[in-house]
Amino acid sequence: MSSTSVALAVAVLGLVWAASGLAMALLSRSTVSAIALTAAGAGTLAATITQATITQATTTGASGTPGLTRFLLVASWALAMPLAVTAYPALQWRHPVDAVALTTVLGAGILATLQPQSQPVLDATGVVLGSVLVAHTWWRLERAHSRARSALAWLAAVGTGAALIGLVVGFLTPTPAGAVMATLMVALLGPAMLVGATRPDVLDVRVVVVQLVVVAAVLIGYIALFTLLASLLEVILGRPAAVAELAVAGALATLPLPALRTALRGVVDELLFGLRADPLDAATHVAGSDVGDPVFALRAVREALDLPYAVLRVAGESVASSGRSATSTTTLPLTLGADVVGELEVGLRPGEVSLSGDDRNVLALVAPLLALTARSAALAAALQESREQSITAIEEERRRLRRDLHDGLGPRLSGIAFTADAARNSVRTDPDAAEALLAQLRAETSTAIDEIRGLVYAMRPPALDELGLVSAIRQQALALRTPEGTPLRLTVQAPPTLPPLTAAVEVAAYRIVVEALTNAARHSGSDTVTAALSADAGALTIEVHDRGAPRRGRWEAGVGMSSMRERAAEIGGSIEVGPGDTGGRVRARLPLSV
C-alpha cells in the first residue's frame, strides 16, 4: 500500500469532518464546535489538494510549496480540531478548568501553527494537547448532566476506540496500511460528534465508554508487560528469545489480566458514575423502609441500589414512580403466590446494559414487599372507585327525591293550601261551597299521603322494618293476581331465622323476589309459585320457580329483568333468569355483607 492510499485516507478524513461540521452548523447544534470541525475538515482537504498539486508539479519539473501542506495540516489537526473538541458540545469558559483548558489548547495550537516545520515543537504540543483534551473531556464527562453527558459519552467512546485501534494497528503494522487504518478511525470523530449533538439518546453509549477504557488499559498493560518480559529474556539469555520462550512470556503476561480487568472495571465505573451500595446493605435498607407507600418504597429501592428510575405498575397502569426516565430499563414481575399483581420497571445505571446478579438478588428479596405494596395500591384504587360509585348513587337518589318532591308532592301540597284558603273564605258566605272544598281538600290530602308513602317505599319498603324479609314477601304476594284475576298462591321456603342482613342486601332480595313474583303472575300462566331463601358460604341464595307451562327459547329482557340484574350487580351479586322444564326460574346469589 503506497503513500497515495494514505493521502486518499487523509482526504476522506477531511471530507467526513467537514461534512459533519456543516451538518451540525445547519442544525444549529454546538455552533462553535461545528465551525471548528468544518475548518479542520476543510483545512485537511486543502492540504491533500495542495500535496497532490506539489506531487504533480514535481513530476513535471515545476516548483511547488511543500511548506503550505504542512502548515494546513498542523493548523487543522493542532488548532481547529482540538478547539472543536474543547468547545463540544457547548463552549464553556467561565469555570477555571474550562478557561485553563481553552487557553492551553489555543496557545499550543497557535504555537504549533506558527512553527509547523519544527518537529520538537510539534512533539511537545502534541503531548500537551493530547493530555489536556483527555483530562478535560473526562472532567466534563463527570460533571455534565443529561444531554451534554450523552454527547460527551459519544465523543469519548469513539475517541477511545479510535485511539485503541490506531495504537494496535500502528504497533503491529507500522506501514502505510496501519496509517490508513488509523486515519480512517480518527475520521469517525466527526460523525460521533454529529450524533452526540443531534441524537445522543439513540443508543446508550455510556457502557461502551467503560468497556473501551478498560480494554484499552488492559491491552496497553499487556503489551507493556509482554515487551518487558521479552526484553528481560533477551538480556538474560544474551540473544533474541526463541518463539517458545516468547510464548511462555506471553502466557505469563496474561495471568494478571482477569484481576486487572475486574479492578479496572470497578475503578472506571466508580470514577465515571459514582460509588454503588453493597447489595446486603441495600436489601436491609429497603426492607426497613416504609413500603406501605408506593412512592417511599420506590425511593428506597432507588437509593439502596443507586438506580436512576423506578416505576410500579398494576394492570398496565403506573401506580407510582421515582426518578427520571432512563434510556435503558428492565422489568421484573411482582407475584403473590401464583398471582402476578404488578410489575417493577427500573432504569439501568449509566454504563450498564443489564442488572447485575447482586442487584437482581436484592430485588428478589424486596419483591414480595413491593408486591404487597402493589396489591395495597390496587385495593385502594378499587376502594376509591367503589366510594365514588356509592357517592354518585347517593347523589342520584337525592336528585330523584328532590325531583319527585318538587314536581309531584310540592304542587299538591300547594294546592291543598289554596283549597284550605278558599274553604275558609267561603265558610260563612257559602257553606255548601265550603263543604265541597273541604271534601276536595280531604281527597287531595289522601293523595298526598299516598305519594309520601310511595316515596318512602321507593327508598325502603316499610314492611321490611315492620314484618321482616320473609313476611314482607308473603304480604306483597297477597296483592298479586293472574291475568284471569286468580290470586297468586305463594309457597315460601326459608329457615326459621336468616343470618343478619345489611339494609342493602335485604332491600335487593325483597325487590328481586317481588319482581320475580310479579313476572310469574303476569306471564307464567300459572297461579302457583315457590320462593326459596337460604344462606350459606357467605351468600344469600334466592330461587323463585313458577309451575307454568314450559317456555322454550331465550327470554326477552324487559324492564323487570333489567331491574333484577341491576339490583344484584349493585351489591356484587349474580343472577340467572330463564325458562326451565317445569316453568320459569330466577336464581340469585347476594353477598351477606356489603
User: Which domains does the chain possess?
Assistant: 3-202 (1.20.1070), 205-273 (no CATH), 279-375 (3.30.450.40), 467-591 (3.30.565.10)
DSSP 387-430: HHHHHHHHHHHHHHHHHHIIIIIHHHHHHHHHHHHHHHHHTTT-
| 267 vs 157: CA distance, rounded Å | 17
Lowest mean pLDDT among 38-47, 288-297, 321-330: 288-297
Mean pLDDT of the chain: 79
Query: With bands split at pLDDT 50, 70 and 90, how would you rate the model's confidence at 106?
Result: very high
CB 434 within 8 A of CB 423: yes
pLDDT the model gives residue 63: 47
Task: Name residue 243's amino acid.
Answer: V
Give CB contacts under 8 A, 24+ apart, made by 359-362: 359/279, 359/305, 360/332, 361/279, 361/283, 362/279, 362/282, 362/283, 362/286, 362/304, 362/305
Lowest mean pLDDT among 74-83, 341-350, 471-480: 341-350
Task: Name residue 290's amino acid.
Answer: D
Lowest mean pLDDT among 179-188, 202-211, 585-594: 202-211
Most confident of 313-317, 397-401, 529-533: 529-533
Using CB atoms within 10 A of its CB, is residue 15 exposed (0-12), middle (13-18) or buried (19+)? middle
Most confident of 285-299, 392-406, 423-437: 423-437
Helix spans in 31-175 (H): 31-60, 66-74, 81-86, 96-114, 119-143, 146-172
On the question of pLDDT at 222 being above 70, the answer is: yes
Most confident of 141-145, 303-307, 489-493, 574-578: 489-493
Query: With bands split at pLDDT 50, 70 and 90, how would you rate the model's confidence at 253?
Result: confident
- Helix 257-273 with 119-143: angle, nearest 10 deg: 70
| 65 vs 98: CA distance, rounded Å | 38
CB 283 within 8 A of CB 365: yes
Most confident of 210-214, 300-304, 306-310: 306-310
Query: With bands split at pLDDT 50, 70 and 90, how would you rate the model's confidence at 61?
Result: very low
Nearest CA among 161, 140, 165, 141 for reference residue 153? 141
Lowest mean pLDDT among 89-93, 240-244, 384-388: 384-388
| 53 vs 64: CA distance, rounded Å | 8
pLDDT the model gives residue 171: 62
Q: Given the C-alpha cell 459514582, which residue does it identify?
A: 274
CB 294 within 8 A of CB 287: no
Average pLDDT over residues 281-291: 59
Strand 574-580's sheet: what is its strand order? Answer: 489-493, 528-536, 539-546, 583-591, 574-580
Start-to-end Cα distance in the chain? 89
On the question of pLDDT at 104 being above 90, the answer is: yes
- Percent residues over pLDDT 90 in the chain: 10
Nearest CA among 231, 189, 184 for reference residue 5? 184
CB 381 within 8 A of CB 298: no
Q: All 3 cell numbers of residue 408? A: 309531584
Secondary structure letter of residue 487 according to DSSP: B
> How many C-beta neighbours within 10 Å does residue 199 have?
12
pLDDT digits (tens, 9 = 90+) for 2-53: 577 888 888 899 999 999 999 999 988 889 999 999 999 999 999 888 887 7
pLDDT the model gives residue 594: 59
Give CB contacts under 8 A, 24+ apart, made by 135-143: 135/101, 136/86, 136/97, 136/98, 136/101, 137/85, 139/97, 140/98, 141/209, 141/272, 142/271, 142/272
Bridge partners (DSSP) of residue 533 are: 542
C-alpha to C-alpha distances, 376 to 287, 289, 369, 465, nearest whole angstrom: 17, 16, 10, 38
Using CB atoms within 10 A of its CB, is residue 396 exposed (0-12), middle (13-18) or buried (19+)? exposed
On the question of pLDDT at 508 being above 50, the answer is: yes
C-alpha to C-alpha distances, 166 to 51, 128, 133, 141, 354, nearest whole angstrom: 24, 19, 17, 23, 30
pLDDT the model gives residue 17: 92
| 132 vs 138: CA distance, rounded Å | 10
CB 18 within 8 A of CB 45: yes
Q: Of residues 453 and 342, which shows the higher confidence score?
A: 342
Verify cis geometry, omega within 30 degrees of 0, for the bond prior to 89. yes
Q: All 3 cell numbers of residue 78? A: 493542532
Q: Whats the size of the chain, residue-wise?
A: 594
Query: With bands split at pLDDT 50, 70 and 90, how would you rate the model's confidence at 84?
Result: very high
Task: Name residue 100's amino acid.
Answer: V
